[in-house]
Every structure is written in structure tokens, then in C-alpha cells.
Amino acid sequence: MPRAGAPSCGARAVVAAVYVPAAALAGWSLGHTLWGGLHQPGVALAFGVLIAVGELVGSGSAAGAGRPPGEREGAPLGAAGALAYALLGAVGGRPTTHGVAQIVAVVLAAGLVGLVRQLARGAGPGPDHLARRVLSIGFAATCFQPLYNTGTLHAWVASGPFYPLFMIALMALTALCDAVLAAALARARTGWPYGPLLRDELRALPGIGSAICATGVVIALATAVVGLWALPVFCLPLLLTQFAFRRYAAVRATYRQTLASLARSTEIAGYTPHGHARRVAALSRAVGREMGLHGPDLDVLEHAALLHDIGQLSLVDPVPGGATAPLPPDRQRRIALLGGAVVRQTGAPAEVAGIVERQADPFRDQPVTARIVRTVNAYDDLSGGSAGPGGALHALERLRLATARDHEPRVVEALARVLACEGRAV
């Protein structure tokens, strides 16, 4: 859940610390390349087209999937092509003559093609993505090209498997640096804790990250032997993988929309206020991230928060205002158990149904996800969904007074921090 308000001075400093070196490297590369001209323009054009196509295909998935900031690489084919060009030492047995400046310039020009489409559609990772790409490719090219062109690399790893192993190690280091940059920019843009963001980025490296690095290395090695024909041959598997990921993202988006529609049934039937489930889900996810949850745990938390009131459909008469907290414990438990039974019928993970079923348990017996949903639900009931600071402060005061019996203090304080960053509680 993005946080409202202007970025803090620290956030602006982080963004500047990434953008200024990226802009300086981009300006130097373009100037150097324009002054000296393109070396081996056919090779540069082939890799530029590959990277641009990868960026265009990836920007479409980025917009469609609606990925939050800091999520996975949106253009794996473009990233693999850029890494391959940075590691390219020969084409068809003939040494290359391009250097670091031309590599960055070609990657920048191709990346701008994808960026223009993203900005035109008002979606996608935008300039952050391009700044990271320039810095990571500049790092890989700077580590590889001087060593290769001076013969130092061949002196170190002259034969056997050590040459590709060196390239793989360099790709892993490059991916690690990119993950650090991605997490830092996401922290600056959203205000979410840096640790969980970095863990999310690092968890992606063995998956799509390893596929990107491996494809980049294979393209560079194959192009050195067979020439530019290696580009379409060895890019095809990654392209098919990218389309498979897009289909998977579309399925996940459809599933979430189905849950959101099911959650709205209590609003349509008049059991809960309009927008209650959506507000609780968004705020629960933000509180969970504030408390260090990440990845699948956040998805489970959000889905449970969407469906936490579904058991109210079993009531003959709606609860006034949709608030179940004032009800007797036995009625609360009955609503929670019936809600869990309904959730299980949707095919949702057992963890989601478990959170819904345990909403009426004492908070000390609940998992942290159930505690978050319980507290955020109570906050929305008490504040009436108001975005004003007065309603938020009053609701938080009520929650703090109930921490001895109904709510975990850690969750309440995390909620207070989220609300303060959004400007609701000041």
C-alpha cells in the first residue's frame, strides 16, 4: 500500500544517490560513443534490437500485472541481452572492439525505447528501472571488458571451465548489486522497511534471476563461437519462460479479483460498510510489511483480510455498522468458523482459512497474521473508514487501551507508524 505524502529528505537522498551516478555514467557513455563513433555497428544494432524487444515485451507485462515497487525483473529478455553484450568478448571467433562506454550507450538507447512506452501507458517501473539497468550493466562491463581486452582475463583463466565460471560469478555479483539498488529505491518510494524488501529481491535471484544470468552467459559464449545467429536461438527459451510468467501473473490477478468480488458480497448484502474489506486488506498488508512480513506471507495476509467478514452472511440480521467486536464471544466464534468454512470452499490456501477462523480467538493464541487482521479490522470499525487525523487518533487511542486483552501492542504500534507515514495520524 503506497504511502501518501512527499518523500522524506532521506528518501530523496537515496534516489539522488542512484540517479546522479546513473545520469553521469549515461552522459559520459553517450558523449564518448558519439565522439568516437560506433565500433562494429552491426553487432551493436543486433544487441540493441534484442534489448529493445525485451524491454517492450517486458513493459507490457509490467503494466498488466500491476507489480508493486521493488518486485521482480519485468524485462528478463532485455536484461539477459544487456548482460550478454557486457560480457561479449568475441563474435564468430573475431575479437570485439567495443568498450564500456558503447555498451552502456547501447543499453541506454534500447532501454529508452521501453521507457517511452511505459510512460505513454502511465505504468511500469519507469526511470528507476532504467537507472538500475545503466548502473548494473556499467558495473558488469567495467569488471569484464578491461580484463578481457588487455588479456589479463585469459592469463587468469586460460582454459577449462574457469572462464564461464568467472562469468557466472560476475553475473551473480551484478545481480546482487542490482537487488540492493532495487530494494533501496523501493524503500525510498514506499517507506516500507528495507530488510523485507531486500529479502524479497534476494529470494528472486535463484528463480528468474538465475535464468537471466545463465542466459546472458550462454548468449555471450555462443555468440563468440557461432556469431549473431546465437541471439535468436538462445533467447527463445527465456522468451517462452517470460510468457509463462505473464500467464501465471494473469492467473494470480484473476484469482485476487475473484476474492475481492467475493468479499464485496457482504457489502452488497448490507452486512458491512462500503469499501471495508478493501481498506482492511490494503492496511493489513502495509502493517504486515512494517512488521517484517514478506512475499507469500503478505499475500496470505491480504487474502485473509479481504475475506475476514465473509462469515457474516450466516447472520439473519446484519450487525449494526458491520462491527463484530461488540458481539458475545460465542457469536464471534460462530461467524469466524463459518467464514473459514466458506473460504475453504473457494480453494484458497489453508492458511487463509485458518486466519479467518481464528479471528475470535484471544490474540495471544493467534498467529501474527490473524492479530494484524483483527487489529486493522477493529481500527477501521472504530474510525469508520475516515482518512482524517481526528478519527485515526481516536481509534488508535481505543486500540492502545485494549492492548492488555484484545490487541497485541506490537501490531498497534506498527499500525500507528503506517498511519503516521500516510498522514492519517499526526
Quote the pLDDT of residue 104.
95
What tens digit of pLDDT does each residue of 269-297 get? Answer: 777 888 888 899 989 998 998 888 877 88
Query: At residue 70, does pLDDT exceed 70?
Result: no
* Of residues 101 and 402, more confidently modeled: 101
- Asked if the model's pLDDT at residue 211 lies above 90, the reply is no
Say what the pLDDT of residue 237 is.
81
Segment 196-220 mean pLDDT: 84
What are 268's strand-pairing partners?
A: none
The predicted model gives 383-401 an average pLDDT of: 74
Predicted pLDDT of residue 3? 44
Strand partners, 94: 91
Instruction: Kindly report the average pLDDT of the chain as a whole number.
Output: 82
Q: Cβ–Cβ contacts within 10 Å for residue 420, how many?
A: 16
pLDDT number for residue 69? 39
In terms of DSSP H, where are the helices of 310-363?
A: 329-345, 350-357
Does the pLDDT of residue 313 top 90, yes or no?
no
**Residue 48 reports pLDDT greater than 80:** yes
Cβ-contact 340, 311 below 8 angstroms: yes
Condensed to tens digits (0 to 9), the pLDDT of residues 136-191 reads 999 999 999 998 888 887 777 755 678 888 888 999 899 999 999 988 988 888 77
Residue 390's pLDDT band, with cuts at 50, 70 and 90, is low
Query: What's the rounded Cα separation, in Å, for the pair 294 and 286?
Result: 10
Q: What is the DSSP letter of 74?
A: S
Rounded CA-CA distance 200/2 in Å is 17
CB-neighbour burial class of residue 214 (10 A; exposed 0-12, middle 13-18, buried 19+): middle
- Please give the pLDDT value at position 323: 66
Identify the band that residue 59 occupies on the pLDDT scale cut at 50, 70 and 90.
low
pLDDT number for residue 316: 67
Residue 91 parent element (H or E): strand 90-91
Q: Which of the four pLDDT bands, split at 50, 70 and 90, describes residue 423?
A: low
Residue 162 to residues 166, 220, 340, 364, Cα–Cα distance (Å):
6, 15, 55, 55
Predicted confidence at residue 61, as pLDDT, reads: 46
Q: pLDDT tens-digit profile of 351-389?
A: 888 888 888 888 888 889 999 999 998 888 888 755 555
pLDDT, residue 73, reads: 53
Residue 94: φ, ψ to 5°: -105, 135
Predicted TM-score of the model (pTM): 0.75
| Structure confidence at residue 62 (pLDDT) | 42
